[in-house]
Each structure stands twice: as C-alpha cells, then as structure tokens.
Structure 1
Amino acid sequence: MNRSDVLIIGAGPTGLVLALWLSKLGVRARIIDKTSAPGTTSRALAVQARTLELYRQLDLSETIVRNGHRVAATNFWVNGKPLAQLPLKRIGEGLTPYAFVEIFPQDEHERLLIERLEDYGITVERDTTLEIFEESSDGLTAHLRLPNGEQEICQACYLAGCDGARSVVRKSLDTGFPGGTYQQVFYVADVKASGPAMNGELHLDLDEADFLAVFPLAGAGHARLIGTVRDERADRAETLQFSDVSRRAIEHLKVHIEDVHWFSTYRVHHRVAEHFRSGRAFLLGDAAHVHSPAGGQGMNTGIGDAINLAWKLAAVLSGGAEASLLDSYETERIAFARRLVSTTDKVFSFVTAEGRLADLLRMRVAPFLIPKMASFEASREFLFRTVSQVTLNYRGMPLSAGAAGHVHGGDRLPWAHEGEGDNYEPLRQPCWQVHVYGDTSDEMIAWCAEHHLPLHVFDWRPAFETAGLARNGFYLLRPDTYVAIAENSADPKVVERYFHDHGIRPYFNCT
C-alpha cells in the first residue's frame, strides 16, 4: 500500500508550494490533481512582496522577477481620459527587497513550481481524484480513482485539501463555507492590443460604463482584461463569447483589440470555511477561503497558508515538535482570511457598485482624492504595506511572545538594508534561528551553540534603528521568518522556556 507523510489534493499554486516546502524540509509528499494537465489560463496575476520574500527560501524570487513584469503605475480613467495616476515604481522602497508590484501570471507560475518540484523527484499525479478518506489514530486511509479507472487505497499521516472552492476535502469534512456570491458576472481575456492603455501600466476605468481593468503582461502589447458583464447578457454568461462583451469601457480606455488569446466568464465569491482543520486533514487556499480579486490577494494568501503549514508539519513529522503545534495553523490563518475577505469585499463593492451615488463617488470624488493621497509618502506606504501583505502578523497568538523596539512577537521581521548585505540573507534557510542587532551575552552564544540553533549577530547600524529593531535584544525567528519572540534581554532561558512550553525541540532544527 502506497504511503506518504502528507497527501496533497490539488496542484494549483497552494498545493505545489506546500509540496515544495515539505520536500525542502525532508517530508515525503504526494500530490494529485483531477486535471489532465496544468492550466494554460488563469485569473491570478500579482505576486506580492511578502510572497517573494518567502520564495527566497527556494530560490524562486529571482526567477519570477526576471520573467515577470513590474507595474510602474496605476492609471484611473473617467470619460475616456486618464485623470489620476498612482506611481508604483518605488512605492515600497526601504520596506522590502521587492518594493514594487510584480505581475507573473498563474499559469506560468504553476509551470515554474512544477519544474522545481520535479527537481525533488516529485511529479504531480494527473487525472487522479480523491473519493473518500478515513482517519485512524495513527494516520489516514484515502481511496483514489486513478486515470485508468481503477481504485487505489493509500495511506498518509496527514492530508491537505488544496482542491479549490469546490473542495472535495472540505465537503468530506462537512465544514461549513459561509459567505456569498457577488451579483456581477465577470469576464477575463488575454489579448494582443494597442492604444495608450497598452503602455505596460495598470489602467482602471471608473465610468458608469461596465467596469474594466487592463493588467499589463510581459511582452509589448500583451494584456489581461478583467471586466463586468451586465444586463441580460449576465443570464447567459456560460455561453458568452468575447464578441458579446460590451465595448463601452474598452472604447473609453482606447484599447484596440488585435487578437484574443483566450476568454472566460466567472462569478466572484466571498467565503471563509468555518474550520481550516479537522483532525489530520487541513484546508488551504481556495478550499478554505475565496474572495474578490481586489488587490491580488487570493493566490498569495493560499501560498501563505502552505508555507505556514509546511514547517509545522515537518517539525511534527520529524519529532521536532508535539502534534499540538498543528493547532496554531487554523488559529493564525483563519484570522487573516476573515480580515482579508472583509477588506476586499469593501473595496470590490465600491469599485463595482451601480447607481448615481456610486458613479458620483467613482467619477468625481475618487479622481480628486487619489492624486492627493498619492502625493503623501505615508499614504503610499500604507497602501503598499496592506496590499503587499508585509503587515500580516500573528500578534497575540499562541506562538508569539514579547516586544522589542517596534517589533512584536508574531510580526514579520523588518527588512534592514545597508551597503551590500541585509538581515534577510540568513532567512533563506527555513529553520529556527536567533537574530541579535548589536551585542549579546556569552550565555546566549553558548546556549545556541549547544542546541544547534543558528545565531546571527549583526553589528549595530543606523539602518536597524530605522527599521524599528531593538539594540542588544534578540529575536527568535520561526522557519517561516515570522518573529516568535521579541525580547530586550540577552537571556537564553527565555528561548529555552519558549521551546519547552510549546513542545518544540530545537535540536531537530533544519540545517
């Protein structure tokens, strides 16, 4: 009987990233998908800065940046004219190594992840579906339907449902998926076109006409259109062709279509599962939460789910932590998913609302306010921090403790760059580690050496103070680079007590 440590259902970005991180950490992962081949079309485009930071652990970031497209600005159009612009070139400067908006379409993204996974000897098993699974005290038994129609019974220690909004895993767990569906029908099309909106920047129509956004893709004249389908056409969305789409917004943005590579329609949902875990089964990505495309958050949030769960599963499976560590996955990720759905719902509702008041706000008020807000560095920084997910934190949660400088337990470690190096270089290794900015005690040095816990001591520099880091304290960092402890002292007993209280054994640390 085939046995794996973790059986992953679904080979979208979430499932592939989970398989990659587990493989990196020495866990035997098996990944299946019901489709016969990777997707050639997709809606997800943006790879946020926080995702790129985490992708350094698998040397993915540079490849994505090299092959993707940086968006220089967002332009807001009213009555056929660009009335406001939000510059994006340096919007997150000083906050992250990836202080820009990166476009890298999901289909290309998946192909890259699949290639890297094959380097670990893992191949996605296609045309394979999960039928049922049963849990026992020491694992799971799953019944799979293979491409030839035969059934296979396999075993795993844990199961990860990364199988999308119609998740078989979620339905098998009988977990509720409360929320709703927006009334609008949307279309998405990859096109070759010309016109002023094909300048490599993002363009958004704010008119009372059909909503339309033009997202730039790599290559001159290539873009993705995302727009609404209104009136009686929405009732026959499943049979619509691009020729049926209203031209009002397209003409307002002066987009001259030369070729349509692909076209599809869809409805947008906003839902969060009642639970992200039941026993040995977990829900991730769209199986756990779906939300509007506002801000390009969906795929990145699923990837965050995968990385959060991967190191915890690896620790438990290796004997480096008690099984209770897995309880923190739902606690940390469900809170973020609920906040995200609420936030994107408000933005999405504003952009797509109909009626005289909504038109007034979009066409008169927004074009006036956007340039004013864009002129303030604080406004631009707030926008970038929110959209890029660098403000995502686990403050006040069970694995987070203390505060030092402006940094709290549960925060993303602030990035500090000065000269040639930065404090993120050690984070390429997905392991527990201690950072000290300034000086530390001999006791801390000795304790970390004895317990094989990497200790990185950085000579104090002004850049660290600017980033909000405390001098001569320490930060215990989790394998996913979030701060576990922020502490002003140099006492290793604080670290020892943390590991003891959470059932974590640092000598199983990944090296």
Structure 2
Amino acid sequence: MNKTSANSPVLVVGGRTTGLMMAAELARHDVAVRIIDKSPGIDPHCRATVLHSRSLEILHSLGIVDDIVACAQPLHGVSLYVNGEARGRFDELPVDSPFPLSLGLPQATTETILEKHLNSLGVFVERSTQLTSLEQSADTVRASLLHDDGREEIVETPWVIGCDGAHSTVRHLTEETFPGEADPYPYLLADVVIDGALEPGDAYFFLHNDGELFLFILNEGRRFVVANVAKETDITKAPTLEQVQELVTHRSGHDFHLSDPRWLAHFHINYRLAPHYRHGRTFLAGDAAHVHSLLGGLGMNTGIQDAHNLAWKLALVMRGDAPAAWLDTYEIERRQVAEDVIATTKLATQNAELFAELSSTDREKLVAHMFVPEGEKMRVRNHEEQIDLDYRSSPLCIEPEEGFAHGPHPGARAVDSPIFLDGQPCQFYDLLRSPKHCLFLYAPASSQGSVLSELTTVAEAVARDHGHWIAVHIVDDWNGETTVPSNVTRIEDPQQTLRQRYGIESTGMYLIRPDGYVAYRSWRLDSIDEYLAHVV
C-alpha cells in the first residue's frame, strides 16, 4: 500500500464534464490537482446534448470554444406538433452574447475537447481508479483509492471535490443526503440517425395522446430521441431499434426512418438536491449535488458553471489571498441556481406528461400556454441560455448606495463590447480570460488633470499591493492622454461603447471576478479599498 504525502494536490473525483472542467480550472489557477475516474475512458453514450450561451462564454475563457463551435450544430428553433399536426415554431432568438445560440453536441465530444485541454495543462485523468473511503481532519483529507490492478493507495490531500455524478461516492462517504423524488414515468433514450423532413438546426417536440416525443439535435446529422413510456416498463432492459422506430412513427405522425443506433436505453428522471455543497474539506458539484429532467439541456451546463464558480475561490484561499469564508459562497451562489433549474425542468416535464391525461379542451389550453407572449420572449431566452444568473445576494457582490442608472449590477454577468488594445481591435471578453479579478478604472471622457492623477494613483496602488490577484486596467478614449503605470493595462474605447454598456457617465470603476460576474462598482475611484476591506 502506497502513501502520498500531505502536500498532495487537490483531489477531483469524477472525470466527466464537471470533473474535467474543475480540474482544468484549478490547473489554470496554478493549483496542483489530481483527477480520478472509475471508468476506463470517456463514456461514448450521449446523455447531454446542448451547450448554452453562458457555458460557451466560459469555454471561451478556457481558449477551447473554437474547437467546440467547429463541430457543433447551432439550435435555431423548436417545432411543435400535436397528434401529428404542426402547431408552431419557437424561434431561438439570439441573446446578447458572442455566442447567441445554443449548440448541439454530444457530451462525449465536449469531454474529449475538455480532456485535451486538461492534458495541455499537464494534468491527466487517472482512469479505472475509485475512491473507497475518506477521513477528514482540520487541515487535510485522508482518502483511500483502489486502482484497476488491485493496488490500494492512501492519499492525503487538502481538499476533495466530488464531481462523480448522481450516485456520488463522495456524497455517500460524507453522509450527505440527496432528498427529492423520481418522475412517475420511465423514459426511452436513443442516439440515432433519422432520415426524413427535419431541419438540421431545429429540435422537434411532439405531443401525442399516448405521450410526448422529443428529437434533440446533435452533430453530424444525428438526433437524440427522448420519450416517456408506460409506467410498468422494465427499465433494466434496453429498447430495440424497432421499438424506438415504432414509437417515433406513432407519436410523430411522420415517415421517419431510424438507423445507426449508438445507444439505446431506458432511465428514470429524478429531481434531487443536496442540502449542502460543502462538508469541511469536501465539496460536491454537478450531478453529485443536483439532478433533474434533461428537458432544457441544463444539467451539463450547470455542472460546468459549478466548477467555474468554485475553482477560483479555492485557488485564492489556498494561496492565502482570500479568507476561508469565501468558500461558503460557492453553496450560497450555486445552490439557488440548481433550485431554479430543478423547478423549471420539473414544470416543463410535468406539463409534457400531463397532455395525454387531459381532456381535448384542456389539451388545447395547455398547448396555447406553451407559446410565450411577444414581450416575454427575450426574458425567457436569456433564462434558457443562463445569461441572466444573478449572484446579488452573495457576500462577495456589493453595490454601494449611490447606484447606477444602468449597466450590469454586482452579481450580474459582465457584458461584452468591442475595444482596442495597443491600437488593435479586440473584445472586452478577451481581457476576462485572465484567471485574476479584473479592475477597470474609467478615465473621464474629457481631460481633467486632477481626476487623471487620482485615477493613475489608484491604479498604481492596486497593482502594487494586489497585482498578484487583481489585473488593473484603465479605460480611456482614443486620444491617449492618460499615461498609465507599467503594471497597468490601457484600454482604448474610442466610441465609448464600453462606457455606455457599463453605465459610466464620467469616471467610475468596475471589479469583475474571474468567473465573469461583477463583484463591485462605484463612481468613486478610491472606493476599491472599502470593498477589499469588507470581503478580504
């Protein structure tokens, strides 16, 4: 039996999407990390199929979104049919993001790209390796690992992060409960090719007197079939292609031909949420912390964002730049998101299931209710793409009393804008790829000597005292009147587009967190010390 020293890396348990993202983000923040997974490799079976706009923005910060976009299928709309009759189409309106539409892509492809990125950071998934026990003390976790060859290993690590799915070993070993309920209907899943009159960028939703049917988009012309089946169905037995074909033909009312099945299965939807995401030196993320219906494609995306939220906080605490209390904000911020996802997907799933149980009149009322009023469409789209997530209740997001007329408030996601850097055009989001907090100090629109002097003094002081975790930027117009210190970056905003998007009328400041959410804003250039004194 081998024993690893107490200076071991953070241990991530689970090598699927959330675990890969967690390990990659920790490595990007210069945290030593080790990741294990009990499976021999990436699961080729398709469970998650969609990457939403917010997740694509996050993958942009990792530098891998181009690889994702190159092999994905944009989702342009959802067509609705009732008992074989076309009833309408829900257009996927572009949202305010560099990635305005969701992309269809099998989870295995997303994980392959993530793992390649993780490997480029010098971290490799240790496959066929299981966590069997763990014991916590005040400053370490003692974990037992079982390797595929039967070898046992004792690891002493400062933190364990459970990204090991709905049947999480980490959750079980910490005796965290997983309260919730199962959906009454079993579901059928199939990853197949479908020949027929289908628009490649559209998903299809069929309501039928005998149940619902969904045809989600993948890439390479494939479709992910999801349908509820009889309650007495034996879910331990996979459906045959012939059974799936019969169901699709019956409920769609179309002459579709299914072929080339990669995966056929039955499963039960569960709605469950862990009461706590942290137990001492262990954390839960992704499906280990929350599970829900796959309608809406929010599961994988929520796990990606869990990892993106926790990694930078853990890095700052481990380096001593932030107090341990920052780690408690992970649950504060992310559990409320999971609550909303569970409620939203449960309602959508139950409404789809309810159709077959209603009278003809009530069915028509249900269908009519599915069409969103014109004035609500953009709000609904922002929520679908998860760009409206709000952490304003977090202790790390503070809004001074003076307030702004517009612009993203503390807790809101930062918005993008064209800018110039060293005379070259780029996007504001490119600066947010930094693993640091980003402080943006806005110079006055016109030359004001005393204000410029104050601005450069503040910039230089923050860069000197906190430059190891805060990147400092001065936003100026095209005239170049502001001379910036050598450890500060000057951003050119000649059309004042960035200034307008952030509601800056003259001078002001924004502090944006490493996960792209606003931590603080103020008109007063010298108020950054007040924020830091409050949270650090």
Runs of 4+ in 1 over 6 A off after TM superposition: none
Q: How far apart are the structure 2 equivalents of 1:462 and 1:365?
A: 48
Once the two structures are superposed, what CA deviation does each residue of 1:238-295 show, in whole Å capped at 9, x if it has no partner? 3533333473443425222133222111111111101100100000000100111121
Q: How far apart are the structure 2 equivalents of 1:372 and 1:454?
A: 43
Residue 460 (structure 2) pairs with residue 427 (structure 1): no
Residue 494 (structure 2) pairs with residue 495 (structure 1): no
Contact 2:188 2:239 in 1 (8 A): no
Identify which of 498, 503, 507 aligns with 1:469: 503
State the superposition RMSD in angstroms.
Answer: 2.2
Residue 326 (structure 2) pairs with residue 293 (structure 1): no
Shift of 1:303: 0.8
Residue 227 (structure 2) pairs with residue 223 (structure 1): no
Residue in 2 aligned with 1:394? 391
Shift of 1:23: 0.8
Residue in 2 aligned with 1:339? 340
> One-letter code of the match for 1:92?
P
Contact 1:188 1:226 in 2 (8 A): yes
Shift of 1:336: 1.5
Contact 1:68 1:103 in 2 (8 A): yes
Shift of 1:489: 2.2
Residue in 1 aligned with 2:40? 36
Residue in 2 aligned with 1:53? 57
> One-letter code of the match for 1:119?
S
Q: How far apart are the structure 1 equivalents of 2:178 and 2:201?
A: 38
Contact 1:162 1:283 in 2 (8 A): yes
Q: If you compute each CA radius of gyration, which structure gives the higher value, 1 or 2? A: 2
Alignment CA distance shift 1:365-1:444 (3 Å): farther
Shift of 1:179: 0.8
For the residue of structure 2 that corresponds to 1:211, the secondary structure is: strand
Alignment CA distance shift 1:358-1:284 (3 Å): farther
Once the two structures are superposed, what CA deviation does each residue of 1:190-213 show, in whole Å capped at 9, x if it has no partner? 111211135331111022233111
Shift of 1:128: 0.8
Q: How far apart are the structure 1 equivalents of 2:517 and 2:153?
A: 39
Shift of 1:446: 2.8
Q: How far apart are the structure 2 equivalents of 1:291 and 1:253?
A: 29
Contact 1:214 1:226 in 2 (8 A): yes
Counting matched residue pairs gives 492
Alignment CA distance shift 1:253-1:13 (3 Å): farther
Residue 279 (structure 2) pairs with residue 307 (structure 1): no
Shift of 1:7: 0.3
Contact 1:76 1:367 in 2 (8 A): no
Alignment CA distance shift 1:122-1:212 (3 Å): same
Alignment CA distance shift 1:470-1:213 (3 Å): same
Stretch moving more, 403-412 or 246-255: 246-255
Identify which of 5, 9, 12 aligns with 2:16: 12
Contact 1:205 1:253 in 2 (8 A): no
Residue 451 (structure 2) pairs with residue 446 (structure 1): no
Identity between Structure 1 and Structure 2 (%): 30
Alignment CA distance shift 1:301-1:67 (3 Å): same
Stretch moving more, 244-253 or 133-142: 244-253
> One-letter code of the match for 1:429?
S
Q: 1:266-415 alignment to 2 at 5 Å?
A: 266-357=267-358, 360=361, 362=363, 364-365=364-365, 368=368, 373=373, 376=374, 378-402=375-399, 403-406=403-406, 407-415=408-416
Q: How far apart are the structure 1 equivalents of 2:437 and 2:419?
A: 24
Contact 1:161 1:282 in 2 (8 A): yes
Q: How far apart are the structure 2 equivalents of 1:369 and 1:342?
A: 18
Q: How far apart are the structure 1 equivalents of 2:209 and 2:398?
A: 49
Alignment CA distance shift 1:339-1:231 (3 Å): closer
Q: How far apart are the structure 1 equivalents of 2:300 and 2:395?
A: 26
TM norm structure 2: 0.86
TM norm structure 1: 0.90
For the residue of structure 2 that corresponds to 1:197, the secondary structure is: coil
Contact 1:131 1:145 in 2 (8 A): yes
For the residue of structure 1 that corresponds to 2:237, the secondary structure is: helix
> One-letter code of the match for 1:240?
P
Q: How far apart are the structure 2 equivalents of 1:275 and 1:62?
A: 35
Q: How far apart are the structure 1 equivalents of 2:377 and 2:21?
A: 30
Contact 1:200 1:217 in 2 (8 A): no
Shift of 1:370: 5.5
Identify which of 81, 91, 94 aligns with 1:92: 94
Shift of 1:418: 7.5
> One-letter code of the match for 2:521?
A
Once the two structures are superposed, what CA deviation does each residue of 1:32-85 show, in whole Å capped at 9, x if it has no partner? 111111100121011111111111221111111111110122100123132201
